[in-house]
Structure 1
Amino acid sequence: MALTLLTAVVAAFSVACCYPTAFQELGRSHKNRTSIKFLAVGDWGGLPYPPYVTAVQKATAREMGIVADQMGADFILALGDNFYYKGVDSVDSPRFQETYEAVFTAKSLQVPWYVIAGNHDHAGNVQAQIQYSQRSNRWKFPSYYYELNFHIPNTERTLTIIMLDTVKLCGNSLDYADEKPRGPLSRAAANRQLVWLQERLARSKADFLLVAGHYPVWSVSEHGPTQCLLQDLRPLLNKYKATAYLCGHDHNLQYIEESDVGYVVSGAGNFLDPDVRHWNQVPKGSVKFFTGKASTLGGFVHAEVTKDTMTVTFFQAKGTSLYRTVLPRRDFN
């Protein structure tokens, strides 16, 4: 028991040293600003054959550019499944150009993209995606999991976003077989990430604390709730009063609210799926919004974090917002 505890403490100390707290710089002038704005999109990864994009991805990219221009976006969260169907094979893969650089071309999208890997990325070479950070001015993928910290301009408030690798936590899944994650490839690696996560959550004094991963904790759609995350992540989100959890994996837009945590599914960047087969496997009354209709042409989330609130707006790619919710800053009492 003592040895196990010592191992956990050493692991927590080592990862804390490897991931020192640092605050990201916001690119736009913030002289008169009092908020941070960002977009979140998952499952946006095109196709592995010509034309290397889908109609949904193109429409989503176009509308993301419009919303970022009109409402503002300091950065973008890319929530995994960045390259269908088997990720990329090397940092020299033409997919970076064909499915990313040549698609998200709007001037307003030339901001940092903070990236995590999804199950399809793990079917390829995730390390190559991490290495691409050295080739691109906006692609930011420093490690399989990492922490982002921001000062909200002209306030004393802070925002923290913890980016997870849920495939390393829970295992990979075969979408075509509707297979659930069967457990991590390395239990030791999964435990290291959990120890790191708990340490980061426990020490966070951020006014807004977000966690992002690819797999959903709660979802009403094809993949449904992720058992591994319900067991290992959800209790931590509750205990440490996380503001929200953002994810993709299911190819639609969902907002689920449970135990004062907002669960945002933004997986409509490349395909659309109206499936609601797991509607009765989430807490009753927790689903506040859902759409996977083909007529939306795709979708994503815009968020604005101010001194006291975080406003989350779901957009459809054919223009106009679909749903908006407001989350309060953390209450430490």
Structure 2
Amino acid sequence: MALTLVSILIAAISVAYCYPTAFQDLSKKNRTSIKFLAVGDWGGLPYSPYVTAVQKSTAQEMGIVAEQMGADFILALGDNFYYKGVNSVDSPRFKETFEAVFTAKSLQVPWYVIAGNHDHAGNVKAQIEYSQRSNRWKFPSYYYELNFRIPNSGKTLTIIMLDTIMLCGNSLDHVDEKPRGPLSVVDANRQLTWLEERLALSKADFLLVAGHYPVWSVSKHGPTQCLLQKLHPLLNKYKATAYLCGHDHNLQYIEESDIGYVVSGAGNFLDPDTHHWKHVPKGSVKFFTGQASTLGGFVHAEVTKNKMIVTFFQAKGTSLYRTVLSDRDLD
């Protein structure tokens, strides 16, 4: 019994140490909101020219929107390097597919990164280590928490960044295989325990959770059953504001139980597939596009003291859909 208690205490200490919850410093004096971009599945190609036309056009428009509307940081929602991640921290892919593509001055802000299934086919630890090489690449651990004070408002924003591949297992896209179950049940359960602890403790006015796999999706991969079982009940129980993800190569907004489900996976490829349309709650789909004519896409979000404004952009230069989410009612 004593040994078990010691083990629990050691685990708790290591979690606290590995996943810091300090507030990030935005240093914005004359502002009353936080603004960020979210883009997934943006990871180029493993052969020359190491980028796709969609990635280039998306990166260009991200720079324009960040300049015009503002972006304090960017959420990179996984599949950062196609098709098998990177093999080491010295991989030229960091330069060819990231540094040399997202070059706009407005994009020289923190990029908070999580891994996708293609990243897990390579060396995710190398991507974590790259945080020491780049001023803007922020990938402190497989999963972690970000906390922000909304300037001049007294309100707060928390974003919990998950590793859904560690939680649910990897998948083989080309045979449309679903996640096969976690490689390590211990690691999966440790993450899930940590997640519920963080959700239960959160008093944030806006609580976002981000992962690579979707909870709900109408496209090729459809809803992720593992997340419906493990994550969906927690999002409802702890009144999350929204869940952001990629994996399906399009833009989607699905609203269910007052939670916004944002799919932003149009950073490198486009897929108009909607064959899972009837596998999400009836009437929940508010927006979808995966048309090649958009040239790619991403999301811009602004969080004020009492609302979160989410705007979907296509890479050819116009907004496609906008929605507003309220702050959490914790009474």
Question: For this structure pair, what is the TM-score category when the shorter chain's length is used for normalisation?
Answer: over 0.9
Letter in 2 for 1:24: Q
2:81 matched residue in structure 1: 83
Query: Greater shift after overlay, 120-129 or 7-16?
Result: 7-16
Unaligned runs of 5+ in 2: none
2:23 matched residue in structure 1: 23
Whether 1:213 and 2:225 are equivalent positions in the alignment is: no
| C-alpha separation in 1, matches of 2:208 and 2:174 | 30
Query: Greater shift after overlay, 8-17 or 230-239?
Result: 8-17
For the residue of structure 2 that corresponds to 1:33, the secondary structure is coil
| 1:45-79 CA-partner distances (Å, limit 9, x unpaired) | 00000000000000000000000000000000000
2:173 matched residue in structure 1: 175
1:305 matched residue in structure 2: 303
| C-alpha distance 25-3 of structure 1, shift in aligned 2 (>3 A) | same
Give the superposition deviation at 1:31. Answer: 1.7
| C-alpha distance 4-274 of structure 1, shift in aligned 2 (>3 A) | farther
1:282 matched residue in structure 2: 280
| C-alpha separation in 2, matches of 1:232 and 1:3 | 29
Letter in 2 for 1:329: D
| C-alpha separation in 2, matches of 1:330 and 1:3 | 40
Letter in 2 for 1:25: D
Answer yes or no: is the 8 Å Cα contact 2:182–2:188 preserved in 1.
yes
Give the superposition deviation at 1:8. Answer: 6.5
Letter in 2 for 1:248: G
| C-alpha distance 4-219 of structure 1, shift in aligned 2 (>3 A) | farther
For the residue of structure 1 that corresponds to 2:220, the secondary structure is coil
State which of 105, 120, 127 in structure 2 corresponds to 1:107. 105
For the residue of structure 2 that corresponds to 1:290, the secondary structure is strand
| C-alpha separation in 2, matches of 1:213 and 1:312 | 17
TM-score, normalised via structure 2 length:
0.97
| C-alpha separation in 2, matches of 1:301 and 1:223 | 20
Within-5 A mapping of 1:175-324: 175-324=173-322
Give the superposition deviation at 1:32. Answer: 1.2
For the residue of structure 2 that corresponds to 1:201, the secondary structure is helix
Letter in 2 for 1:22: A
Of all paired residues, the percent bearing the same amino acid is 85
| C-alpha separation in 2, matches of 1:300 and 1:3 | 49
Within-5 A mapping of 1:51-200: 51-200=49-198
Give the superposition deviation at 1:30. Answer: 1.6
Give the superposition deviation at 1:19. Answer: 2.4
TM-score, normalised via structure 1 length:
0.96
| C-alpha separation in 2, matches of 1:30 and 1:114 | 19
Answer yes or no: is the 8 Å Cα contact 1:148–1:162 preserved in 2.
yes
For the residue of structure 2 that corresponds to 1:285, the secondary structure is coil
| C-alpha separation in 2, matches of 1:131 and 1:183 | 26
Answer yes or no: is the 8 Å Cα contact 1:12–1:195 preserved in 2.
no
| C-alpha separation in 2, matches of 1:162 and 1:281 | 26
Query: Greater shift after overlay, 7-16 or 83-92?
Result: 7-16
Answer yes or no: is the 8 Å Cα contact 1:16–1:196 preserved in 2.
no
Answer yes or no: is the 8 Å Cα contact 2:20–2:144 preserved in 1.
no
| C-alpha separation in 2, matches of 1:124 and 1:263 | 28
| C-alpha separation in 1, matches of 2:152 and 2:121 | 43
Answer yes or no: is the 8 Å Cα contact 1:257–1:286 preserved in 2.
yes
Answer yes or no: is the 8 Å Cα contact 1:151–1:159 preserved in 2.
yes
1:36 matched residue in structure 2: 34
For the residue of structure 2 that corresponds to 1:160, the secondary structure is strand
| C-alpha separation in 2, matches of 1:328 and 1:145 | 26
Give the superposition deviation at 1:20. Answer: 3.5
Give the superposition deviation at 1:5. Answer: 9.6
| C-alpha distance 52-224 of structure 1, shift in aligned 2 (>3 A) | same
For the residue of structure 2 that corresponds to 1:245, the secondary structure is strand
Give the superposition deviation at 1:132. Answer: 0.4
The runs of at least 4 consecutive aligned structure 1 residues that moved more than 3 Å come to 1-14
Give the superposition deviation at 1:319. Answer: 0.5
Letter in 1 for 2:308: M
Answer yes or no: is the 8 Å Cα contact 1:12–1:199 preserved in 2.
no
Give the superposition deviation at 1:251. Answer: 0.0
